[in-house]
Amino acid sequence: MLEIFTVAGLATFEIYAAIPAGFAFGLHPGTIFSASLIGGLAGVFVAAFLGDQIRAFFSRNKQPKLDKPKVGLIYRIWDKYGVIGVGFLGTMTVGAPVSLAVGVGFNVPLKKLIVWCCLGVLVRCALFTTVGHYGMKLF
């Protein structure tokens, strides 16, 4: 039982660490998927609902900054794919908490962002658990 909670707890912050930990504990792939999905979704909601409070805390004493040129990978993803790119693709690459932070920074509607981040967590857990399961069969 402790192993399942460990996998879920790790998935709250980073799914890349949770799924290999589940295989290291010798858990069934279905259990790993379920625990990492629950932990990942919990991470999405924690980051989403604490994100506004964290932003308010840091912006309280923040000096207004000058407009910077909008270049870089995240701006190109935002311009090309919008909320789907930030929510889904961001969750698949860097994780849901970072994607939510970027989305909040871009003033994306939180409900849409949460939906796409949750879908990203679902696909990410399914994909990496499947890859891990069949990868372990090679050994």
Mean pLDDT for the chain overall: 86
DSSP letter, residue 72: S
Q: Is residue 27 part of a domain?
A: yes
Q: Between residues 95 and 62, which one has the greater pLDDT?
A: 95
Residue 86: what pLDDT? 87
What is the predicted pLDDT for the residue at 126? 96
Q: Write out pLDDT tens, residues 96-123.
A: 888 888 888 888 888 999 999 999 999 9
pLDDT winner (highest mean) among 52-56, 85-89, 127-131:
127-131
In the numeric block, which tokens belong to residue 60? 């309280």
Does residue 85 lie in a domain region? yes
Q: What is the largest CA-CA distance in the chain?
A: 55
Tokens representing 32? 């790993």
* Category of 110 on φ-ψ map: left (φ > 0), alpha (ψ -120 to 50) or beta: alpha
Give the closest residue to 32 by CA, choosing from 24, 40, 23. 23
Q: What sign does the CA torsion over 58, 49, 78, 73 have?
A: positive
Any domain includes 67: no
Q: Global pTM? A: 0.83
Q: Which two tokens stand for residue 63?
A: 């000096």
Tell whether 68 is covered by a domain: no
* Domain carrying residue 127: 2-62+76-137
Give the tokens for residue 98: 């970072």
Q: Is residue 69 part of a domain?
A: no
The number of distinct structural domains making up the chain is: 1
Structural domain contains residue 55: yes
- Give residue-wise pLDDT tens across range 37-54: 999 999 999 888 887 776
C-alpha distances out from residue 93 to 19, 61, 83, 99, 121, Å: 15, 31, 15, 9, 10
Does residue 70 fall inside a structural domain?
A: no
